Structure 1
């Protein structure tokens, strides 16, 4: 773009007042003797002709760019990418927990939420740990998946609902059932009990759902003994890449036809799709395939994720 000396001088003058001295466009218009829209066009021309080049000098510019790409590629309402440079695995999980807690606290202030659903997992446990103390007396927190026993109690949905309710000074419900039971018949008997069926019904009516994403081959379900080696072999044969609330799905996000899914006590994934807003919280590149499949299945509206996993997601697109 060729710009004459006099015009170039005006571009520099206006740009200097705006970018260096902090004048408003209205103030510049009065000073130069033109209208505010003309000042706006002069500033745009200064950028187009390279008189002005804008640089954002902050590490967050990279992650903000990733957020925009994720939203565009996967049709998300919102996304938060957490920087990971120089952090250990434990530090990354804590950072994702902090970012998720901040996002949720800020987000709930804008929404009229009476029922908040929560699934289970170590990343969600970090969110709860980092959540600030505040008053949300009108809210009730609902566990979206069963979970009983003495191992890793701190990551079970009931415990997370209880701890988060303490932070919010609100009430919570309890789903007194295992995540996966031994037989389909036992599951049917349990879900017919009023104490369990009423909480499952509450889960269908939550305004916002907080969920973690699992890799069944490397996640907590295997460590807790819910999944045996034979189960994992069968899931591999069926092409299972992940789970949400202990319900298993393939690379397209389709729930697989396996007996394990018939023995799960949790909110069905088809019901999850009907929740107004589902916030997925993810940490670790080993969950990339699970996350991609969940996005393909349209289970998530918001994604909070670490930087490395976000990069892997975009590279796999």
Structure 2
């Protein structure tokens, strides 16, 4: 977009979203056609000049939030109406995540923020309004050198730094070392030790959650191989957080890949403010596994994913009641 058009686009977007003017009124004020105004507003949105947050939540979403928060004793759960289809509701999650992070930054709630990996966390930056916070530090929680640029955690915190003016620290190491011996060598490097120390001192952690399956992001970005994912799945894994693969009970499975993760240990952040932003058709089991680990204090997800999680909670409760009823009948018959 040319400089003059960019300025006009910003002005048209301001009059529309902030001023509340109709496109006809904006066209009259700027002396342009309505078609031109429509195009300028669309271009402003596509160029990232417009960041829109909607305050308030639909009643159905509130009910889902309450049930999920109560079941896992979360500090909070945020459920947003799903606005995009497909396996991953990226726009929904990114907008909700940006809204949360913007509030944290505006209120000055954390000076050191640890950031995980994934498409959702990367997309959040596109929805985050510019807010100057040079006193804040963003630090990656895992190795930032990957085979595929789309999975690079360094890019996430680098862009966060551009939007906020905050300091940015990344781990100069691969996400997964080739062997445990290689990992030990890497962890002995002073540069990496300093970043790990800063990560452990973070006041807030924002993480993504990975699924285990054919659509796994780690597989599509070649962060892991099919063989490695098959091995962790055979070990009972259903989800991943910060390079650790968990079973449905939230326990880290016995798999070599877990030992090779160059990332902050889960025990180092347990009990601290850890917020997960995750959703999608493939994610309910993975999200529930991470929630079962009791690592997460807050969850930001979309309505479709929340419904799937609540359906599983309710199905589990009914199964438990049926089993208890059968046991009671058996006890009663045994006394006859």
Q: Shorter-normalised TM-score: what interval?
A: 0.7 to 0.9
Give the 5 Å matches for 1:1-317.
Answer: 60-84=58-82, 87-89=84-86, 92-149=89-146, 151=148, 153-217=149-213, 218-275=215-272, 277-317=273-313
Structure 1's 311 and 257: CA in aligned 2 closer, same or farther, altered over 3 A? same
| Partner SS state of residue 265, structure 1 | coil
Residues 221-279 of structure 1: CA deviation (Å, up to 9, x unaligned): 1122232232222212211011111111111111112111111100111112143x111
Residue number in structure 2 paired with 1:9: none
For 2:212 and 2:87, how far apart are their aligned partners in 1? 20
- Assess, with a 3 A threshold, how the Cα gap between structure 1 residues 264 and 166 changes in structure 2: closer, same or farther: same
In structure 2, the residue matched to 1:19 is none
Q: RMSD across aligned C-alpha pairs, in angstroms?
A: 1.8
Distance 1:316 1:187, change over 3 A: same
TM-score of the superposition, structure 1-length normalised?
0.77
d(CA) in 2 for partners of 1:91 and 1:240? Answer: 20
Q: Residue 91 of structure 1: CA displacement?
A: 8.5
Compute the displacement of 1:59 (Å): 7.7
Change (3 A) 1:285 1:138: same
Q: Is 1:154–1:160's contact at 8 Å kept on the other side of the alignment?
A: no
Which of 293-302 and 108-117 deviates more? Answer: 108-117
Deviation, structure 1 residue 99? 1.1
Q: Which runs of 5+ in 1 are unaligned?
A: 1-57
Could you tell me whether the CA contact under 8 Å between 2:150 and 2:221 is conserved in 1? no
Aligned residue in 2 for 1:44:
none
Q: C-alpha distance in 1, partners of 2:155/2:224? A: 21
Classify the secondary structure of the residue corresponding to 2:212: coil
C-alpha contact (below 8 Å) 1:124/1:155 kept by paired residues: no
3-state SS of 2:275 partner: strand
Higher gyration radius (CA): 1
Q: Which runs of 5+ in 2 are unaligned?
A: 1-55, 314-336
Contact 2:94–2:121 under 8 Å retained in 1: yes
* Cα distance in structure 2, aligned partners of 1:142 and 1:59: 31
- Distance in 2, matches of 1:274 and 1:188, equals 26
Alpha-carbon distance in structure 2 between the residues aligned to 1:91 and 1:190: 34
Q: SS of the residue aligned with 1:138?
A: coil
SS at match of 1:292: helix
Partner of 1:305, secondary structure, is: strand
